[in-house]
Amino acid sequence: MRARTSIIAPLALAVVLTSACGESGSSGTGGGEGDAAASGEACAPVAGDQLVVLEDDKGLQNADNIIPAVNAVAAQASPALLPALNAVSAELTTDELVEMNAAVDVERQSAQDVAAAWVEENIDTAGLEQGSGPVVVGGANFTESTVLATIYADVLTAAGFDATVQEVGNRELYLPALERGEIQVFPEYLSTVTEFLEGDENNQVASGDVDATVEALAPLAEAAGLVFGEPAEAADQNAFAVTEAFADELGVSTLSELAEACDDGSLVLGGPGECPERPFCQPGLEETYGLEFADFRELDAGGPLTKAAIQQGEVSLGLVFSSDGALARQ
């Protein structure tokens, strides 16, 4: 699994829960009946099957947008390579990533079928610049990476390449293979790969600003013999979810609106044990948004324990990953 720059390495995306959604059911205004209700313990947990992610409107989390990583020699030798991959980035959204993860992990469809359906629906393959020759697309051994690698390979095949998918290990193994040209393409995560290439944990160059992080990545990529395509809107990063019932009751869709509505200190936060100490978790929520918590419940990092605790009304909000298939609307 890939390493994250924020909390901890993610758990597998396989999910036993089939509930939740990727869009807020609230008005997004933070006003109306929510204001009147936000007193006493109005912000205490509210049980519900559907989960919604509250927008990180102040950019607390690093921007881990999906971005194609390509061996520089391969990109130079095949000018049609990057445009084909950029065609994927231009269409791929987080909501679609959630739906595809759910289709594989929950509905038990094959990654190949899910990828093929997405390409058919979203990519004008007849309009792709044409290339030729073999291309090996690497994919890590978890659902999302396999689906993305297969999408890349399908689009490259439509662009005239002889593209295949090869399962690879963790970033410590596959990035050197990409640099050596043993694989030519890999679906990466913007901030995570930027920090990995930078290599100094005390010198963070990635941020919640996509453009600034892309700019920081460019010289690091060049030094490693890599080039990167355009980042997609789709991202897989730390996020904070509540039940749809909770969001609807308060009329909130962003973390800023939550902080405005919930000033009574009755929020209960759920997440991994290190959350109270990590800047992207509880301290960040408190310092960036001014949120106050009555309690913290130690659970897991975006896994089934956290999602169940939110749904069962044990915590008000919890740490999840933004592309988790459990966020797909039923």
User: What is the arithmetic mean of pLDDT over 1-5?
Assistant: 39
pLDDT in tens, 273-304: 999 999 999 999 999 999 999 999 999 999 99
Q: Among the CATH numbers 3.30.300.180, 3.10.20.30, 3.40.50.80, 3.10.105.10, which is that of 66-228?
A: 3.10.105.10
Q: Which of the 8 DSSP states describes residue 139?
A: E
Contacts of residue 81, defined as CB under 8 A and 6 or more positions apart, other chains included, come to 70, 74, 75, 131, 135, 156, 161, 184, 185
> One-letter amino acid identity for 70?
V
> Pairing between strand 134-139 and 162-167?
parallel
Q: Among the CATH numbers 3.40.1180.10, 3.40.50.10490, 3.40.50.1820, 3.40.190.120, which is that of 33-60+237-327?
A: 3.40.190.120
Contacts of residue 142, defined as CB under 8 A and 6 or more positions apart, other chains included, come to 1, 12, 13
193 vs 2: CA distance, rounded Å: 9
> Residue 16 burial (CB < 10 Å; 0-12/13-18/19+)?
exposed
Q: Which two tokens stand for residue 247?
A: 């969001």
64 vs 191: CA distance, rounded Å: 5
pLDDT given at position 265: 83
Evaluate if residue 1 carries a pLDDT over 70. Answer: no
pLDDT in tens, 7-55: 433 333 333 333 333 332 332 333 333 333 333 477 889 999 999 999 9
pLDDT in tens, 138-186: 999 999 999 999 999 999 999 999 999 999 988 999 999 999 999 999 9
Q: Contact at 8 Å (CB) between 236 and 325?
A: no
pTM of the model: 0.85
134 vs 250: CA distance, rounded Å: 54
202 or 79, which is more confident:
79
> Pairing between strand 293-298 and 267-271?
parallel
Share the mean pLDDT of the chain.
88
Residue 99 pLDDT grade (very low, low, confident, very high; cuts 50, 70, 90):
very high
pLDDT given at position 200: 86
pLDDT in tens, 186-199: 999 999 999 999 99
253 vs 244: CA distance, rounded Å: 10
Contacts of residue 180, defined as CB under 8 A and 6 or more positions apart, other chains included, come to none
pLDDT in tens, 232-243: 999 999 999 999
162 vs 109: CA distance, rounded Å: 25
pLDDT given at position 170: 87
320 or 203, which is more confident:
320
Residues above pLDDT 90, as percent of the chain: 82
Q: Where do the domains of the chain lie?
A: 33-60+237-327, 66-228
